[in-house]
Structure 1
């Protein structure tokens, strides 16, 4: 099937899908670059120029996805911690839209050690993009804190992504959002969903605090104690 002359993002996704189909049918080692190029509707030379090796092509859609992540972060002028969560949700949504492709890729990757290693490298690229963004937006933040936060976000995302691929009905974008809010509350946006309003009343202050649904009682208690201490 020729996939030339289409939108670049769609084009890359289709090339990935065709490559995975060939790997599934003929085996990774037995599938040739000529077969991959023919499926993509291009010459061998053009294939190498656009996609590199066989190892590269199976993750080619990540190039477009990483570009979308960079754009999303660059245009988000809100809370930097939450911007990273939103970018992670964007990645998850990509795989939800084409779960069959994600499933077939996972099956191929599990059979080839070199592809498993490459998958790890791809994951680190997302982490690197998140860390670079936070360091630029929060130059005074502890590097250890940034790394820990990004690791928690990507770990949460990757766990639910694996569950989604395995067919877990609860591994949804909505579930991811809730879990990432918890990560942000615990490690990043310390004031996520919180409104603290001092009210004058005979020399006393009243603090009103609200939190996202599902916040652990112990976390709420800790935050309230902090507010009372500050008051």
Structure 2
């Protein structure tokens, strides 16, 4: 087997999706996939439970990467979730042909559409669980809404990508997600530290306001 398990699984997935596109999902057998990938039937079943699993091989790889990334320490949990979504997008962009072929076959096969819905929810749940652990003082509704908004924004850009839209880039996604982060994090209550309220007379010079705030925050 290939020394890189992720690359091996993607190679098999690429061959499977090519055969699905050429012959149809139902008509393609595991033996045909194994032969196209240059592996035995036994090796195939060591890596996948069946044809349905092979369609989503790249998702499984990226879900594991996201879980690992979110297990690390991050200064800003809101931003960490955004960066995790960008990481997923860049993975699909790197494996664009696999993503494009899966997109086409999933929309032809009802059971695969159902599996895709479940898989998308797994990303959303990862984001929500992470935010709950990192931001215990933020209400649950806000965290669920943010995770859902991040996932939906990612999926919209990804659909544009696989349809050939050259403007759908990780840069655009990051820009959109940072705007989401600003809206949600600004609306959420502070989780630690003191709140400073400053009152000034109208007409006070901005420089005096800045100096006064700086002095107060330094105390």
Instruction: State the TM-score, normalized to the length of structure 2.
Output: 0.82
Indicate which of 81, 84, 92 corresponds to 2:81: 84
5+ residue gaps, structure 2, are: 189-195, 212-219
In 2: Cα distance, 1:149 partner to 1:188 partner: 9
In 1: Cα distance, 2:52 partner to 2:72 partner: 32
User: Structure 1, residues 158-181: CA drift from partner, whole Å, max 9, x if none?
Assistant: 001101111222211111011001
Indicate which of 166, 183, 187 corresponds to 2:184: 187
Indicate which of 58, 65, 79 corresponds to 2:55: 58
Report the CA distance between 1:100 and its aligned residue.
2.0
The yes-or-no answer on 1:141 pairing with 2:144 is no
Could you say which residue in structure 2 is the equivalent of 1:206? 209
Could you say which residue in structure 2 is the equivalent of 1:124? 121
Could you say which residue in structure 2 is the equivalent of 1:70? 67
Report the CA distance between 1:189 and its aligned residue.
5.5
In 1: Cα distance, 2:210 partner to 2:31 partner: 68
In 2: Cα distance, 1:30 partner to 1:157 partner: 32
Report the CA distance between 1:88 and its aligned residue.
0.2
Could you say which residue in structure 2 is the equivalent of 1:157? 154
Equivalent residue of 1:29, what SS?
A: coil
Residues 190 and 76 (structure 1), Cα distance of their counterparts in 2 relative to 1, 3 Å cut: farther
User: Structure 1, residues 23-51: CA drift from partner, whole Å, max 9, x if none?
Assistant: 11111001111112233433323322321
User: Structure 1, residues 73-96: CA drift from partner, whole Å, max 9, x if none?
Assistant: 112421111100000000000111
In 1: Cα distance, 2:120 partner to 2:114 partner: 10
Indicate which of 106, 111, 120 corresponds to 2:108: 111
- What is the alpha-carbon root mean square deviation over aligned residues? 2.5
CA contact (8 A) 1:198 1:207 kept: no
Report the CA distance between 1:52 and its aligned residue.
0.6
User: Structure 1, residues 97-126: CA drift from partner, whole Å, max 9, x if none?
Assistant: 122221111111111111111111110111
Residues 51 and 27 (structure 1), Cα distance of their counterparts in 2 relative to 1, 3 Å cut: same
**Whose relative contact order is higher, 1 or 2, with alpha carbons under 8 Å and at least 6 apart?**
2
Report the CA distance between 1:140 and its aligned residue.
2.6
CA contact (8 A) 1:89 1:177 kept: yes
In 1: Cα distance, 2:77 partner to 2:46 partner: 36
In 1: Cα distance, 2:77 partner to 2:15 partner: 37
Equivalent residue of 1:156, what SS?
A: helix
Number of paired residues? 199
The yes-or-no answer on 1:172 pairing with 2:175 is no
Instruction: State the TM-score, normalized to the length of structure 1.
Output: 0.78
CA contact (8 A) 2:89 2:158 kept: yes
